[in-house]
Structure 1
Amino acid sequence: MAKPRIYATSFASVYPLYVAKAERKGRTKAEVDEVICWLTGYSSDELAAQLQKEVDFETFIAEAPRPNPDRALVKGVVCGVRVEEIEEPTMREIRYLDKLVDELARGKAMAKILRTA
């Protein structure tokens, strides 16, 4: 079975879309970065380095230094599919990120997005 095209897409090419989506709804790039760092365990500097290297999504996920154990608490539907039911690990991680950015853009409180409330 062929890997989804998103795996080969550079994370750096999608990142501005995440930021633009959040900013259209009054959120900030810093908040997008906070969500990404919470999910993956990248520091701000490590995230910047990954963006600079233009790694693909598969590498971005695979190299995540400290995936947050609470990411399994991310539930809901992205692109018509329940995130928690996605069996393929890399795709599930990508959809966790999509879901968190969606929650940010919808105005959800950061504490709830980061599953601390």
Structure 2
Amino acid sequence: MTKHKIYTMSFASVYPHYVTKAEKKGRTKTEVDEIICWLTGYSQEELESQLEKQTDFETFFAEAPKLNPSRALIKGVVCGVRVEDIEEPTMREIRYLDKLIDELAKGKVMEKILRK
């Protein structure tokens, strides 16, 4: 089976779209970074390093220091697919991130986005 195109795309090429989506709705780059760091366990410095290295999505999630165990609480639909039903682990992680950014853009409070 061939890999999905998103796996080989650099995380840095999509990251500005996450930020733009959030900022259009009055949210901040800092909040986007907080979500990414919460989900993956990267520190701010490690996140910036991954962006500079143009790391692809598959590697970005494979090298994540500590995927947050609370991410299993993320439920809902992204791109017409229920995130909790996605079988492939890397795709599920990508969709978890998409869902969190969607929630941010929809005005949800950070405490709820971060499943506290």
Normalized against structure 2, the TM-score is what? 0.99
Counterpart in the other structure of 1:45: 45
**Are residue 76 (structure 1) and residue 76 (structure 2) matched?**
yes
CA distance in 2, matches of 1:102, 1:16: 14
Post-superposition shift, 1:41?
Answer: 0.3
Moved segments of 4+, more than 6 Å:
none
Post-superposition shift, 1:73?
Answer: 0.3
Show structure 2 runs of 5+ residues with no match: none
Post-superposition shift, 1:59?
Answer: 0.4
Counterpart in the other structure of 2:17: 17
Counterpart in the other structure of 2:36: 36
CA distance in 1, matches of 2:95, 2:49: 22
Show structure 1 runs of 5+ residues with no match: none
- Residues 95-114 of structure 1 show CA distances to partners (whole Å, capped at 9, x for unaligned) of 00000000000000000000
Counterpart in the other structure of 2:55: 55
- Residues 48-85 of structure 1 show CA distances to partners (whole Å, capped at 9, x for unaligned) of 00000000000000000010000000000000000000
SS in 1 for 2:91: helix
CA distance in 1, matches of 2:75, 2:42: 22
Counterpart in the other structure of 1:67: 67
Counterpart in the other structure of 1:114: 114
Post-superposition shift, 1:46?
Answer: 0.3
Counterpart in the other structure of 1:91: 91
Query: CA RMSD for the aligned pairs?
Result: 0.3
- Residues 11-35 of structure 1 show CA distances to partners (whole Å, capped at 9, x for unaligned) of 0000000000000000000000000
Identity of counterpart residues, as a percentage? 76
CA distance in 1, matches of 2:61, 2:42: 10
Normalized against structure 1, the TM-score is what? 0.99
